[in-house]
Amino acid sequence: MKIRVSQYFFRSPDEIGFDNYLVLVLLLLIVVIGFLATITNYALQLSWYTTLSTAISTAVFLPIYFYTRIRRRYIVSKYAIVIFSLLILNIQWFINYGSTGPVLYLFIVLESFIIVFFKNYVKLAATIILLVNITVLFAIEYYQPGMFGKYPTDFARLSDLYIGMIVYFLISVYLINVAVKFYVNEQKKAQLADKLKSAFLANMSHEIRTPMNGILGFAELLKEPNLNGDLQQKYIAIIEKSGTRMLNIINDIMDISKIESGVMKISLTESSINEQVEFIYNFFKPEVEAKGIRFSFKTTVPFKESIITTDREKVYAILTNLVKNAIKYTDRGDIEFGYEIVQRKKTQLLQFYVKDTGIGISRESQAVIFERFVQADIADKMARQGAGLGLSITKAYVEMLGGTIWVDSEEGNGSVFYFTLPYDTCQQVK
């Protein structure tokens, strides 16, 4: 429930950045504070204009919050928070009993926001304006005390201050916990990335040496003068297999280099997804069944409706990488892949999946599984073939085609890789 609420209200820090995530959180907290303050003022039977002044916060900042969340104009929202907060605090200073009320503490909160979210001269200018504003307010209160009302009772005054302090205290605790949790997670990701890179270097050394040893060793054996025909063909087959493995490693490195340098291009053509799915199934079927694993696929639309405009070769590479990955990490059980049509924000998408009953992926590894040089079996880095580039290339291809990719997995209980592609049918293009 907590995860769903967080996703609905705030979006993900990984998706929009931690600073922007905090902007959304703060906007929503301002709305909550205004709402709670309105209820408190009403319960304490303070004047109607005092109650109305706190309701203004909710009325002003709720639309700003939804504008920020939908349009993602975070820099505009940062300035809006400062400008509208300053205006509202000035109004509430006069209505909510000046320095004797809880409004004073909100100036400190506003200054904290300015320090965190603005830089250089903007931060300096905003701080000076805020200090001048507070000085003027104190001067007016000192020289014109008649402009400020008084709490009806000491109980109302103390209750208002106490409730205000409790609310600000809880908000501070929440924000500090959010910040600490985020930076701890980032630290863990960095440590895991270092571990994964070390594993990759060791694994890459193994990956290159193994086929090279196969090629050189069996090429040397071919020089034997009394070598019979069967052994000769066997040695040649091993050399070919080793050469193919070496070529795959080189191709992966070249692909990731093109992706990183931005020279990888897409070529849009008409392509039948059903045809590609069936081809991949027939291609891998002997290899999968040789391991004693059940292999199946599922297509959900007729052949004609499966023809879309996309990059055929990249779709083939994506599905191939994911199926090969499932075969590599599955020793028994099932592998199933296919797709279905889903609706997301009034847009039709093809949602593909590759499901296996293999070793699964730990939560730590899931956070970086699509990064370069990463494999799921970090602890046993020599156990599986592969340079750890496949999923990184796959992710890049999916995003180039306008889709997204993610994984749902539990260590020891298999994995399901999902990715989406736009359902751009030929009829729609024409």
Residue type, 358: G
Of the two residues 183 and 401, the one the predictor is more confident about is 401
pLDDT at 139 over 70: yes
343 or 182, which is more confident? 343
Q: Which two tokens stand for residue 11?
A: 């979006």
Task: Give the pLDDT of residue 4.
Answer: 46
Answer with the residue of higher pLDDT: 417 or 78.
417
| Residue 188 belongs to some domain of the structure | no
Statement to judge: residues 145 and 247 lie in one domain:
no
Average pLDDT over residues 396-417: 89
Q: How far apart are CA 52 and CA 353, in angstroms?
A: 53
Helix (H, G, I), strand (E, B) or coil at 94: helix
The rounded distance, in Å, linking the Cα atoms of 202 and 199 is 5
- The pLDDT > 70 percentage for the chain reads 86
Q: Name residues whose C-beta falls within 8 Å of residue 122's C-beta, 6 or more positions apart in sequence.
A: none
Instruction: Note whether 60 and 209 are same-domain residues.
Output: no
Residue at token pair 């506003």:
110
Average pLDDT score over residue span 135-142 = 92
Using the 3D structure, point to which of 216, 236, 261 is the last residue of a domain: 261
Residue 407 shares a structural domain with residue 304: yes
Is the separation of the CB atoms in 319 and 337 below 8 Å? yes
CA distance 6 to 24: 11
Instruction: For residue 352, give the nearest of 416, 305, 282, 304 by alpha carbon.
Output: 416
- 347 with 423, same domain: the answer is yes
Q: Is residue 430 predicted with pLDDT exceeding 50?
A: no
Q: Where are the alpha helices (DSSP H) in 367-425?
A: 390-400
Asked whether the beta carbons of 60 and 31 are under 8 A apart, the reply is no
Q: How far apart are CA 293 and CA 327, in angstroms?
A: 9
Q: Which of 98-112, 133-147, 149-163 has the highest mean pLDDT?
A: 133-147
- Copy the structure tokens of residue 118: 């603005």
Chain mean pLDDT for the chain: 80
Question: Do 323 and 240 share a structural domain?
Answer: no
Q: Max CA-CA distance within the chain?
A: 115
Higher model confidence: residue 427 or residue 419? 419
Structure tokens of 119? 């830089």
DSSP lists the bridge partners of residue 297 as 337
Q: Which residue has the higher pLDDT, 333 or 253?
A: 333
Other beta carbons within 10 Å of 141: 17
Could you tell me how far CA 74 lies from the centroid of its own chain? 18
Q: Do 277 and 394 fall into the same domain?
A: yes
Residue 178 lies inside a defined structural domain of this protein: no
Backbone dihedral region for residue 316 (phi beyond 0: left; psi -120 to 50: alpha; all else: beta): alpha
Is 173 within a domain? no
Residue 207 predicted with pLDDT over 70:
no
Q: Residue 414's domain is classified under what CATH number?
A: 3.30.565.10
Q: What are the tens digits of pLDDT across the range 305-346?
A: 888 888 888 898 899 889 988 998 898 999 999 999 988 877
Residue 172 inside a domain? The answer is no
Token pair 């571990």: residue: 195
Mean pLDDT (whole number) for 74-102: 84
Range among 2-11, 38-47, 272-281 rated most confident:
272-281
Let me know the angle formed at the C-alpha of 407 by 401 and 409, rounded to the nearest 5 degrees.
Answer: 165
Q: What is the reported pLDDT for 428?
A: 42
- What's the confidence (pLDDT) of residue 337? 94
State residue 211's pLDDT score: 76
Most confident of 67-81, 248-262, 359-373, 416-430: 67-81
Q: Which residue type is seen at 408?
A: D
- Comparison of pLDDT for 217 and 430, the residue scoring more: 217
Please report whether residue 182 resides in a domain. Answer: no
Its domain, for residue 305, covers 269-429
Give the SS3 label for residue 269.
Answer: strand
Least confident of 127-136, 173-182, 269-278, 327-336: 173-182
The conformation of residue 97, written as its DSSP 8-state character, comes to T
pLDDT of residue 378: 44
**Is residue 371 domain-shared with residue 253, that is, in the same domain?**
no
Do 356 and 402 lie in one domain? The reply is yes
Dist. CA 412–CA 209, nearest whole Å? 30
* Separation of alpha carbons 287 and 155, rounded Å: 80
Domain boundary among 209, 244, 261: 261
Residue for token digits 């079996």?
A: 377
Strand partners for 418: 353, 406
CA distance 312 to 114: 50
Q: Which residue has the higher pLDDT, 199 or 155?
A: 155
Closest listed residue to residue 377, CA positions, set 355, 409, 352, 405? 409
> Which band of pLDDT confidence, cut at 50, 70 and 90, is reported for residue 426?
low
Higher pLDDT, 276 or 106: 276
- Given 88, 119, 152, the domain boundary residue is 152
Determine, yes or no, domain membership for 171: no
| Number of structural domains in the chain | 3
Q: Torsions phi, psi of 145, nearest 5?
A: -65, -20
Q: Residue 255 domain-assigned?
A: yes
Amino acid 79: pLDDT: 87
Residue 256 half-sphere exposure toward CB, CA atoms < 13 A: 18
* Adjacent-strand bridge partners of 415: 356, 409
CATH code assigned at 203: 1.10.287.130
Q: Are residues 232 and 92 part of one domain?
A: no
**pLDDT at position 352, please?**
94
Residues 256 and 275 reside in one and the same domain: no
Q: Are residues 210 and 107 in the same domain?
A: no
Give the model's pLDDT for residue 1.
Answer: 46
pLDDT of 7 higher than 60: no
Is pLDDT above 90 for 294?
yes
Share of the chain above pLDDT 90, in %: 16
User: Within a domain: residue 176?
Assistant: no
280 shares its domain with 398: yes
Task: Quote the pLDDT of residue 383.
Answer: 40
Spatial distance between the Cα atoms of 414 and 423, rounded to a whole number of angstroms: 28
Range with the poorest average pLDDT among 76-85, 270-279, 295-304, 376-385: 376-385
